[in-house]
Structure 1
Amino acid sequence: MAIFKRKEELEEGYSNETELNDLKESVEKAKMPPHIESIAQKEIEKLNKSNPSTAEYTIGMNYIDYLVSLPWNKMTTDNLDIKRAESILHKEHYGLSEIKDRILEHLAVRILKSSRKYSILVVEDEQIARTNLEHVISKEGYDVMTAKDGLEATQLLNQHHFDIILTDLKMDKIDGMGVLETAKKKDPDIEVIMITGYATVTTAVSAMKKGSFHFITKPFKVEEIRSVIKQALDKKKGQIESKGPVLCFVGPPGTGKTSLGMSIAKSLEKEFIRISLAGVKDEAEIRGHRRSYVGALPGRIVQEIRRVGSINPVFMLDEIDKIGQDFKGDPASALLEVLDSEQQANFVDHYLDVPFSLSNVMFIATANTTDPIPPALLDRFEVLPLSGYTQEEKEQIAFDYLIPKAINNAGLDKFPPIITKEAVRVIIDEYTREAGLRNFQRQIDSVFRKTARELLSSEEKKSVEITPEMVRKQLGAKKYYFEIAEAKERIGVTTGLAWTETGGQIIFIEATIMKGRGELILTGSLGNVMKESAQAALSYIRSHTEKYHIDENFFENNDLHIHVPAGAIPKDGPSAGLTIAVALISLLTKRPCKRDVALTGELTLSGRILPVGGVKEKILAAHRAGVKTIVFPAKNDSDFNDLPPEIKNNVNIIPINELDDIVDRVIG
């Protein structure tokens, strides 16, 4: 019989009831949006009818706990000092002037939009009511204008911009419905709040259908007006925030993409979130799992926002070009909803199953290259390229940032070593060859660790001077050479420029002749585009044999072999066409190519030179390798304006439109 219950059952029932009551209080204190709160209350009612020992009960408890813990209306106050933001960017990052300017422009727009005063138009035919509304709304810090009827209101709408309109419904000449229709025709984003003492359900429904934000009946309370205006402005703020572009920093490793995002968050005093998308293949990592089992969780987006406790953080999506996909879904497609300004306000995580606004989140993405990013996702970004650093910039960064950090990490604060400029230059030239700074910092750290060990071993504790000889002794044999400066001129060997994910680099293209049947042999892990470029270069030369004094029957009994060294590394792209053509002309005319001249450009069958990409990266690579002259397509001329002065002063850039413009200047 069930008349008597065991003590454990009574205690369990009491505990369950207490737990649900605590949960109800938590829901009320969380200040969720009304529709979300009603969903949470319904879930609690379901739990009240469920057995606490079932898995569904645990799932429901976890779900409500997650809803309660989300920052539905918690946000940090932005620091709107643009000068402070500029000083932080300059202090933490050397160079990158274009990137800094674009970031500051982006911040300036957000600051102006978030700090501007909102304008409100009050349309009321009763003067006392109109004056009272103007007084109450002005005290809240808004710019207020008034109109005594609908006709005056429509005239003001043609002369001024308003964010919100509060209008009476019953007025002479043009009523509130007329003001609503006129406002929505001019700007669909204007929020119109209707006020009337003749409210009916039919009228309210008609106003809502025409786009009214709210319908207030007279008599009303001042707090009700304030609350409705705040709700309307919160909606507009979300629209303003979500319409901003998503910045995407694209550049080689070690160029400061992640630290730039951190500096933006620091300058605005926002929370900073970073998640790496490299290797992510499951769509649930973005959208979350459905609540079908106990271990289900929201996606990383919602998890991280919950962790920082703010709905307006700076959110960095790192390594977005390395995102994957498999049978579990396509995470890149899931990101389309996250980054779309029109969908952010109603992002639905599968676990939450309710809309969660991301419109206040400032998303930033990073990538090494844009090629693997799907076009639809790339369309969401404003791409800001980071090309890499010059030798002089690296030297300055070393003394300003890397060396003080290395001294601190090595515990040498008491006896800080003095490293000469020549020693730093040796590290840059002989032990690193990169666009960024990561390996450069490792080598500097290594030098100071070895110095710290030598300091402990010596009897006399004092600061030492680190010279080039000490660097070579500590780091061993040099790893990189000036392959251009140290190489001799050869027939059939030209210097080209290539772009890779890790920055620009130089390549050598070699050509040779052998007896055969007129075949073209291509080796060096070349892609289809590069093979076609070689074929186009050969076809151009064969069609102009007289110009280069080549026997037209030569190709019938000889094979040509074109090879690009570093055969294990795949190579592709059209920009090697010019370089291959010059190598073949050098080979067939038996004239050596100048090794301190590098070339890049796409060659057509008519001999025209078409523009190429990665201009700055290629020029930086040529400068690092000791190249003195660079041949570029003339149509890339606009890209040369962004080059640092030290590059322009040390490298001679020759723009060309036709292959014939350069043959005699490159071939000896």
Structure 2
Amino acid sequence: MGWFGREKSPAPAAKEPRQDDARKELSGPSRQQDALRERIEASGLPPEVYEAAISECDRMDGVEPSSPEYAISLNFLETILSLPWNETTKDDLDINRAGEVLDARHYGLRRVKDRILEFLAVKSLCARDKPRILVVDDERIARENLTIVFEDDGYEVEAVANGVEAVAAMERKPAHVVVSDLKMDGMDGMELLQVLRKRWPDTKVVMITGYATVKTAVDALQQGADQYLGKPVNLTKLRRLVTELHAQSVRARHLHGFVLCFNGPPGMGKTSIGKAIAEAMGRKFIRLSLAGLRDEAELRGHRRTYVGAMPGRILQGISKAGSRNPVIMLDEVDKAVQDFKGDAVSVLLEMLDSEQNSGFVDHYLGLPFDLSNVLFICTANAVERLPAPLLDRLEVIDFPSYTLNEKVRIATDFVIPDQLRRHGLDEQLVSVSEDAARIVITGYTREAGLRGMRMQLASLCRKLARRVLADGSQAVEVDEAMVRELLGAPPMIAASARSRPRVGLSTSLVWTENGGEIIFVETARMQGNKQLILTGSLGEILRESAQTSLSYCRSHAGEYGIDPDVFAASDIHIHIPAGAVSKEGPSAGVSITLALLSLLTGRPIRQDVASTGELSLLGEVLPVGGIREKLMAAQAAGVGIVILPQGCARRVDDIEEDVVRDLDIRFVSTMEEAAGIALCDSPTPDDNA
């Protein structure tokens, strides 16, 4: 093939069968094998895969169809042919439509939706970037012919005569691939290569020369050239190389971003958001629940040496989707890391790393499959469980708890109408009031998401269906009284702030997987020998917080008017009720210290005050997390004043108005400031708890 010749890229030529004619006559031609060979030759497989498939097909010629080896080879070839090596779905990156789809599927979650739309906007802008090639050659006819070739292939082409003009062209608009001659006046190809590697390291370079030698090829590759070809150039090979290098350049420029990881409690809608992303982009959706997987081979596949071997769940899903660029949601990835037999982290790193997944090798297939076009999305309930190497590759998007008003709106506008239809109830005859929905949410569920609410409303609809059948077609209006009648007494009793000041009793705000809650810290002093008693199923961090609080009180006894001798003859008991529930976390230090100061000074604590924050031994109040959920708990419990660390002030600025409404938030930096807010001025010994 000459420099200027051009031909259509042919399919790889099939190998001649290895059996001689006599053996063919004995065995007879297999119609099934002939059909397989025809499918392989017509499938447009990548060269490496094509060679492996033809080789396996040739091997089947000498195997009896009734033997197990024949069945293994047949299944292997069917697996290869079922995979979408070249099939992709075109992305629909209309941001306005994507926003409409997300809003239609979910109410609320505004920040989550905004981050997803930003992600899609970046992909949309990257998709507009037309592939660009810069041709550098001092022969005019060579430049013109290569321009025609690459423009017909859909590239934007600019042709220049030497390295100086090439640098100027790159400064105006960088190219994805540079095809350059080696010998040129002004600045030759090697000098141009050095400039490209220094200023545009992601640009791919193909060096071409009519004076090709081993030394020049080695020098060019050592200087950073990606490919080296001699003249006359095989245009078929050059076009294939340019296509491959452009794909690598796109990955290097645009796919270094992190994989999205949706983090939040169960029932927040993480999976359905992933489906909405696939719908908005026009891609197929595959969900893999990693919580149910116990073996590395379920993702990576079993080797063909095992009986009943099959590909892993990744390639099975891609084969079923019929395209190599679906959206794959790896659900509950934090549970997989704990339960896997084998190195789950290495499998996930290979799948999620854009530098590695372009050549992902399934154990069954034994051939590389390109996963770089797949959009991976992970979900987790607690990303803290993930190993650091995996977490570094994920961009964590936290799903905040739904507020009470959001839950009521979702229940009345979406869940209740849906459940009524599912249970055969006429929405014109059966109506559920907003107050009824509110009592279902607050009295029968305790969660951050919506799953429990949906289950309780489904139970309510089942009981309504029975009543409608028993009473005829009379209209039914469900109010709070009917909810209690049908579902029984509410099992959830929300903690509420106490009314009068108490000595030794403080209110703390905590974060749990079910959202924010308030807990009470109780303290008592008795005669003893300096023993600290901790009860309430406290974890190690909470025990350390209690010891730090007591040390702070002892070291600052003079500042608060505490008799230093009281510690020598006393035992102090710290208790957090609900001992059957394990408690852990670094956010109760301020509350424990307030309870101890109240106990030792006799000054009662205002019960309309709740606090959160950790305490240092020097009395500094340290910032903590979960502020939004904790403020929601304070609001629900009727707390008036909330003490927060000064380091959390910026987080509060970003919280919705509904969450901070009716709360007097005080920011403190030291324990003295917190005590000045929570402790009453005068002791009231008669009020000891």
The one-character-per-residue Cα deviations of 1:155-211 (angstroms, maximum 9, x if unpaired) are 323443111223334433334444344333332322233455566677666655642
- Residue 139 of structure 2 aligns to which amino acid in structure 1? E
What does 1:588-667 align with in structure 2 at a 5 Å threshold? 588-667=600-679
How far 1:389 moved relative to its partner? 0.8
How far 1:153 moved relative to its partner? 1.6
Match of 2:581 among 569, 572, 584: 569
The one-character-per-residue Cα deviations of 1:102-123 (angstroms, maximum 9, x if unpaired) are 1111111111112321222122
The one-character-per-residue Cα deviations of 1:36-86 (angstroms, maximum 9, x if unpaired) are 211222223333344545444433332222122111111111102111001
**Kept after mapping to 1: 8 A contact 2:524/2:573:** yes
Which residue of structure 1 aligns with residue 450 of structure 2? 437
**Kept after mapping to 1: 8 A contact 2:337/2:386:** no
3-state secondary structure, aligned to 1:575: coil
Match of 1:273 among 286, 295, 303: 286
The one-character-per-residue Cα deviations of 1:637-666 (angstroms, maximum 9, x if unpaired) are 111022111122222211111111122422
- Residue 644 of structure 1 aligns to which amino acid in structure 2? E
Match of 2:428 among 415, 418, 429: 415
How far 1:240 moved relative to its partner? 4.7
Distance, in Å, in 1 between the alignment partners of 2:250 and 2:323 is: 16
- Residue 50 of structure 2 aligns to which amino acid in structure 1? E
Match of 2:264 among 235, 251, 257: 251
User: 1:215 and 2:229 equivalent?
Assistant: yes
Distance, in Å, in 1 between the alignment partners of 2:338 and 2:674 is: 46
Which residue of structure 1 aligns with residue 11 of structure 2? none
Distance 1:51 1:202, change over 3 A: farther
**Kept after mapping to 2: 8 A contact 1:288/1:299:** yes
Identical counterparts, % of pairs: 46
Cα RMSD (Å) of the superposition? 2.6
Which residue of structure 1 aligns with residue 105 of structure 2? 92
Distance 1:300 1:596, change over 3 A: farther
User: 1:290 and 2:303 equivalent?
Assistant: yes
Which residue of structure 1 aligns with residue 10 of structure 2? none
Distance 1:95 1:140, change over 3 A: same
Distance, in Å, in 2 between the alignment partners of 1:567 and 1:532 is: 18
- Residue 135 of structure 2 aligns to which amino acid in structure 1? V
Which residue of structure 2 aligns with residue 5 of structure 1? none
Which residue of structure 1 aligns with residue 465 of structure 2? 452
**Kept after mapping to 2: 8 A contact 1:281/1:325:** no
- Residue 468 of structure 2 aligns to which amino acid in structure 1? L
- Residue 654 of structure 2 aligns to which amino acid in structure 1? D
Distance 1:446 1:267, change over 3 A: same
What does 1:101-500 align with in structure 2 at a 5 Å threshold? 101-138=114-151, 140-195=153-208, 207=220, 210-213=224-227, 215=229, 217-218=231-232, 227-240=240-253, 242-278=255-291, 280-325=293-338, 328-413=341-426, 415-459=428-472, 461-485=473-497, 489-500=501-512
Distance, in Å, in 2 between the alignment partners of 1:514 and 1:302 is: 67
Which residue of structure 2 aligns with residue 527 of structure 1? 539
**Kept after mapping to 2: 8 A contact 1:496/1:600:** yes
Match of 2:565 among 549, 553, 565: 553
Which residue of structure 1 aligns with residue 599 of structure 2? 587
Distance 1:225 1:207, change over 3 A: same
The one-character-per-residue Cα deviations of 1:467-511 (angstroms, maximum 9, x if unpaired) are 222222222112223421466654322221222233322222211
Which ranges of 4 or more aligned residues in structure 1 deviate by more than 6 Å?
9-12
3-state secondary structure, aligned to 1:89: helix
Distance 1:19 1:659, change over 3 A: same
**Kept after mapping to 1: 8 A contact 2:177/2:203:** yes
- Residue 426 of structure 1 aligns to which amino acid in structure 2? I
Distance, in Å, in 2 between the alignment partners of 1:391 and 1:643 is: 15
**Kept after mapping to 1: 8 A contact 2:588/2:613:** yes
Distance, in Å, in 2 between the alignment partners of 1:200 and 1:606 is: 73
Aligned residues: 657
Distance, in Å, in 2 between the alignment partners of 1:152 and 1:10 is: 62
How far 1:286 moved relative to its partner? 2.4
- Residue 566 of structure 2 aligns to which amino acid in structure 1? F
Distance 1:557 1:296, change over 3 A: same
The one-character-per-residue Cα deviations of 1:363-405 (angstroms, maximum 9, x if unpaired) are 1111111121111111110111112111111122222321221
Which residue of structure 1 aligns with residue 32 of structure 2? 19
Distance, in Å, in 2 between the alignment partners of 1:302 and 1:21 is: 26
User: 1:509 and 2:521 equivalent?
Assistant: yes
Distance, in Å, in 2 between the alignment partners of 1:504 and 1:32 is: 55
3-state secondary structure, aligned to 2:205: strand
Distance 1:296 1:348, change over 3 A: same
- Residue 395 of structure 1 aligns to which amino acid in structure 2? V
3-state secondary structure, aligned to 1:574: coil
3-state secondary structure, aligned to 1:45: helix
3-state secondary structure, aligned to 1:371: helix
**Kept after mapping to 2: 8 A contact 1:242/1:344:** no
3-state secondary structure, aligned to 2:661: helix
How far 1:600 moved relative to its partner? 1.0
**Kept after mapping to 2: 8 A contact 1:59/1:294:** no
Which segment drifts farther, 634-643 or 316-325? 316-325
Q: Which runs of 5+ in 1 are unaligned?
A: 1-8
Which segment drifts farther, 326-335 or 81-90? 326-335
- Residue 634 of structure 2 aligns to which amino acid in structure 1? A
Distance, in Å, in 2 between the alignment partners of 1:79 and 1:312 is: 13
Distance, in Å, in 2 between the alignment partners of 1:556 and 1:601 is: 29
Distance 1:381 1:219, change over 3 A: closer
- Residue 401 of structure 2 aligns to which amino acid in structure 1? G
Distance 1:237 1:585, change over 3 A: same
Distance 1:236 1:416, change over 3 A: farther
**Kept after mapping to 1: 8 A contact 2:446/2:514:** no
Distance, in Å, in 2 between the alignment partners of 1:378 and 1:416 is: 51
3-state secondary structure, aligned to 1:188: coil
How far 1:302 moved relative to its partner? 1.8
Distance, in Å, in 2 between the alignment partners of 1:50 and 1:42 is: 13
- Residue 391 of structure 2 aligns to which amino acid in structure 1? L
Distance 1:96 1:326, change over 3 A: closer
**Kept after mapping to 2: 8 A contact 1:523/1:567:** yes
**Kept after mapping to 1: 8 A contact 2:605/2:678:** yes
How far 1:303 moved relative to its partner? 1.8
Q: Which runs of 5+ in 2 are unaligned?
A: 1-22, 681-689
**Kept after mapping to 2: 8 A contact 1:484/1:595:** no
- Residue 425 of structure 1 aligns to which amino acid in structure 2? R
**Kept after mapping to 1: 8 A contact 2:206/2:225:** no
How far 1:96 moved relative to its partner? 1.4
Distance 1:665 1:183, change over 3 A: closer
3-state secondary structure, aligned to 1:655: strand
